[in-house]
Chain A
């Protein structure tokens, strides 16, 4: 069984449908009790960093998510669910703390007349870590779907699994041990995205 954190994220349903489509049994988790017995966990997200972290705290899922990640079971963060793994975000500058699994800030794209923000649409992956299990069967240069104004800057470059060029070359996916995270939306990236979700489900041994 794969857990999907339900804190009111906009893409919850899309991620749910995509996981079911690739054959995963999925349980929605809105309280820490729901984490018991799960083989893997997915943290979705669209929207604001603060809303995500505040909702996790309200639902007592902040510490529970950290503990789940420490347990070594596969974890996938998507979009704001990726940003949430870091320490803090420039968004709103309210100083809301992230899960702090990895060091580094979440920053906004630079202000430039030729750069539309949010980045909306299909951009390419430059695969830095072809050995990353999430990327199995995903060709270098594949297009995936992005909708975001902010992106994490990992202090540890060794985390970076893919990079993407949009005014800057940012870390579009990361991987460390059992933790995977993508700034793009695999659930909206047609076959390429479904392949990644299939890889994640296989890794969890939950299909």
Chain B
């Protein structure tokens, strides 16, 4: 059976993994330094992470060069799927990161500004390479709005409609991040995760809000996500990846556990 994936997410700023408690914290300098991305990646590789996601949260030219270097080092030592996001604006940007060893690139703001970028990337590298990451916030009892620019700018798009459009254009996977829940440790937004997962035929990765292991169970079961992305619970050493997977398995969720995990 296909396992539900457990994916640690590494936000990289100036060559270090950082963690902002909520959207916008990076800009205000309120970041906590959590260590070297290559060392953390190796640790998660050993713990049996199913995939790693790196977000370049500076997304400047200097940040990009740092990220390419990080991906090259990780790809030479971790034989597992790697995804990179943050500030990718062109097919050339995608090519540089894939060439460095990433398997997938994650688009967000640039895809909202120019949806054809999704199609161009999918045509050049294949849909399986193109992830569209969606930052969304509940704006009414039954409405979720998509935000760009790291959650700072409201767009015209409703979350389900944008997810559908992205998949039509060639996205092979959707990462759904709840701005309301991100960093709160109060649980994922189950409702919008379920709506998006049921609306698209490609895998949906839930992101933002994991605080307890039961939050992960809920979003995989009730939210119908295919994978869970989490940062704080791993980086702070609250849980190892293997511990998370054992909990999911006990809750009846198919996971990949290796002998000794």
Contacts and interface: CB of A to CB of B under 8 A. Distances in A.
A17 B71 CA distance: 13
Interface in B157-214: 172-173, 201-203
B75 A17 contact: yes
B80 A188 contact: yes
Given A10-B98, A13-B101, A122-B50, A46 B79 contact: no
Contacts, number: 90
B24 to A, nearest CB: 31
A121 B226 contact: yes
B201 A13 contact: no
A73 B201 CA distance: 41
A143 interface: yes
Contacts of B259: 139
Interface string A180-207: 0000000111110110000000000000
Contact of A188 (B3, B79, B226): B79
A11 to B, nearest CB: 7
B103 A188 contact: yes
Interface residues on B, range: 20 to 34
Interface string A116-144: 11111111100000000000000100010
B5 A122 contact: yes
Contact of A121 (B2, B79, B98): B2
A21 B45 CA distance: 15
Given A14-B103, A145-B80, A165 B1 contact: yes
A38 interface: no
By secondary structure, the A interface counts as: mixed
A13 B75 contact: yes
Contacts of B4: 121
Interface string A22-61: 0000000000000000000000001110000000000000
Contact of B129 (A10, A14, A121, A123): A10
Contacts of B75: 13-14, 17
26 contacts: A10-B103, A10-B125, A10-B126, A13-B101, A14-B101, A14-B103, A17-B76, A48-B126, A116-B201, A116-B203, A117-B201, A119-B2, A121-B2, A121-B4, A121-B226, A122-B50, A123-B1, A143-B3, A143-B256, A147-B103, A149-B128, A165-B1, A188-B79, A188-B103, A190-B48, A190-B80
Leading 6 A-B pairs by shortest Cβ distance:
A47-B126, A143-B256, A122-B256, A147-B128, A122-B3, A123-B2
Interface of A: 10-11, 13-14, 17-18, 21, 46-48, 116-124, 139, 143, 145-149, 165-166, 187-191, 193-194
